[in-house]
Structure 1
């Protein structure tokens, strides 16, 4: 992406941040542009249990095959989704996550995947020695977020994407002023044209 396009997007980020009404648009633009990873937004999604949205947001910035850190980050969020499904005793969802989302990691760490699959055989997965350290849902989410923050900060894919550049508040307004002046000049010069056609 060219520098001028990036600058324009940063200005749009700033404009959207200043208007809470467009918060969803802001986060969608962050994800689709891949320019700025909003850690606070990601943390809020995870803390509130919106794990599918959190994973989708994350996937706007990294892929499983980028590097080992990206692979580990995606594995950990999917593992959390699996553990939460087990905790809710939603066996169908847990099975779906295991077969669809976690199976792709089989080649990178087959033993770990076997251990996770083993949890499936327990009525309460915390009865398994491997998961006895797991607390309640909130503590599992906090533990994931602590690890995810470390992984994200260490991942070169997030280099320069964790902080927005500082921009002057009036920069977008100054960029738009010439077009507004031109429009107003056009209106003055063409008073006979009804405004609904402009």
Structure 2
């Protein structure tokens, strides 16, 4: 092989090796809480890894204050890696509610940010719709409208309605009782009747 041909081959091999190492490091980071370190040096980080660890910390019914602090720190690290991480913004809002017994202005802002990024998220919708309803008196009108539109979109598909029904049933705030009843009637019961009467009109706007 000539020198001219061997150089590009060597470069391609080196790049492939680098790509493999980087992929391996990020896989390790995903399963190791978000990052890989050697001594004090962080050599790889991935938002999904931080998210996974943070989810584990807030999953118990009553997370400790230390766990909430750690989960928030991990969420902020995830957002540093990927600012469009909707689940991190939503988790930060949820942590804020757990800390204060309701959303503070900072928690509301994090929840608004999650809707700004993705208006309808089939995976996160039940969680954030419930968060909105649990804090209804503190929620600005634009955020109420966003949650209402998300609930309406979920209602266009049977699986979406099932998720919505579960989320509504879990709301404990008595101040939201009227709204919960209204949404259940409009977006679960009536939407189901309409679909059964006219299935051809009940076209889902969300992929499930």
TM range (shorter): 0.3 to 0.5
Higher strand content, 1 or 2: 2
TM-score w.r.t. length of structure 2: 0.32
More relative contact order, 1 or 2 (CA 8 Å, 6+ apart) = 1
TM-score w.r.t. length of structure 1: 0.33
